[in-house]
Amino acid sequence: MAAARSDRPGGPDEPGTLGELARSARQALVREIDAQGAWAADPVWREAFLAVPRHLFVPYYYVAGPGGYERLWGESHDPAVRERWVRGAYADTPLATRMRDGELLSSSSQPSLMATMLVALRVRAGDRVLEVGAGTGYNAALLAHRLGDGLVTSVDLDPEITESARAHLAAAGHRPAVVTGDGMRGVPERAPYDRIVATCELPTVPGAWLAQCRPGALVLTPLATGLLLLRVGDDGRAVGRFLHTPAYFVPLRGAGPPAGGQPGADGRDDEGEWGGLPRRVRENERFRFLAGLTRGLLGPREAYRLWERAERPGRERFGVTAGPDGARAWLDDPAGPDVWPLG
């Protein structure tokens, strides 16, 4: 007699209608990321994305609809909803996983952006990695698949998030260290680290992170709708530039207003907040990055004059120098005339 077929996927290799759909959808996602060239510089990550089942990390998520947010749940009694859930789990889009009073608290990042960030980390066998922002646990699982559970630490302030991340990781067969705590302070008891990656937006680069890094370590963090990649020197200071890639993340809770906070960030586009700048300027994605990076220091018109004088620079012309005494952003040259404090 043939084995009974399940239509609810559990482990990554469980047979059944949705289990098979999850595998084929995962393969399609990997092909889509392949086509974008996201991991051309480090194709080993392709194996991790093929092996780690994203649907185990998003047992439910929210999608926007005409009447507000709809919750898709893998344990729904409606087979059509379960199929939509598993297909959506492997779409190359961010997924809202925690909402409170209409506010997004946590999400699973866009897989192709995760691939870009993991490649930028340039991990090597034996590297110890700290992830700030546990989220669903999916990113930690990808790291653990590549490096091994014992070399990966993930931290989040919310105990509900860390508890669910541990459960998701265990379901996928991984048990890295998942710590409940303030991500701005790092996890000193698990240091030193060779790599630190944040999956939430911060207002600055915490000095505590740098103190927990080995010389030569890389730090990758979202900042002002960009991705900042720093290398830590022998003196404990770090310097680096932004990648050209746009990046939008949920702010780290408890860290204060993110550097990316800017006029219009709450969905409004009040011309007065932008100092009367024309809409074509306000909607220019490159300018909005600079406006966020200089938030609280330059008014929109001052930021615009800087942007025009510098011939409308993109993210990759900006960088940051960070140390125990704080962090400073700069345009083109850390010793040049255009330097300002962060945070």
Assess whether pLDDT exceeds 70 at residue 134.
yes
Q: Are 217 and 330 in contact (CB under 8 A)?
A: no
* pLDDT value at residue 253: 67
Catalytically active residues, by annotation: 106
Assess whether pLDDT exceeds 50 at residue 7.
no
Assess whether pLDDT exceeds 80 at residue 316.
yes
* pLDDT value at residue 17: 78
* pLDDT value at residue 107: 86
Q: What is the mean pLDDT of residues 16-30?
A: 90
**Residue 5 pLDDT class (50, 70, 90 cuts):** very low
**Residue 275 pLDDT class (50, 70, 90 cuts):** confident
pLDDT in tens, 234-268: 999 999 999 999 999 988 865 555 554 444 444 34
As a whole number, the mean pLDDT across the chain is: 89
* pLDDT value at residue 9: 52
Distance CA 199, CA 251 (A): 9
Assess whether pLDDT exceeds 80 at residue 133.
yes
- Percent of the chain predicted with pLDDT > 90: 77
* pLDDT value at residue 18: 82
Q: Are 301 and 216 in contact (CB under 8 A)?
A: no
Give the closest residue to 203 by CA, choosing from 315, 302, 296, 267: 296
* pLDDT value at residue 257: 54
pLDDT in tens, 56-88: 999 999 998 887 788 999 999 999 999 999 999
**Residue 330 pLDDT class (50, 70, 90 cuts):** very high
* pLDDT value at residue 256: 56
* Cα atoms found within 13 Å of the Cα of residue 95, Cβ hemisphere only: 28
Q: Are 153 and 183 in contact (CB under 8 A)?
A: no
Assess whether pLDDT exceeds 80 at residue 4.
no
Give the 3-state DSSP-derived string for the chain, with helices as H, strands as E and coil as C: CCCCCCCCCCCCCCCCHHHHHHHHHHHHHHHHHHHHCCCCCCCHHHHHHHHCCHHHHCCEEEEEECCEEEEEECCCCCHHHHHHHHHHHCCCCCEEEEEECCEEEEEECCHHHHHHHHHHHCCCCCCCEEEECCCCCHHHHHHHHHHCHHHEEEEECCHHHHHHHHHHHHHCCCCCEEEECCHHHCCHHHCCEEEEEECCECCCCCHHHHHCEEEEEEEEEEECCEEEEEEECCCCCEEEEECCCCCCCCECCCCCCCCCCCCCCCCCCCHHHHCCCCHHHHCCHHHHHHHHHCCCCCCHHHHHHHHHHCCCCCHHHEEEEEECCEEEEEECCCCCCCEEECC
pLDDT in tens, 166-211: 999 999 999 999 999 999 999 999 999 999 999 999 999 999 999 9
Q: What is the mean pLDDT of residues 91-109?
A: 86
Q: Are 165 and 135 in contact (CB under 8 A)?
A: yes
Assess whether pLDDT exceeds 70 at residue 118.
yes
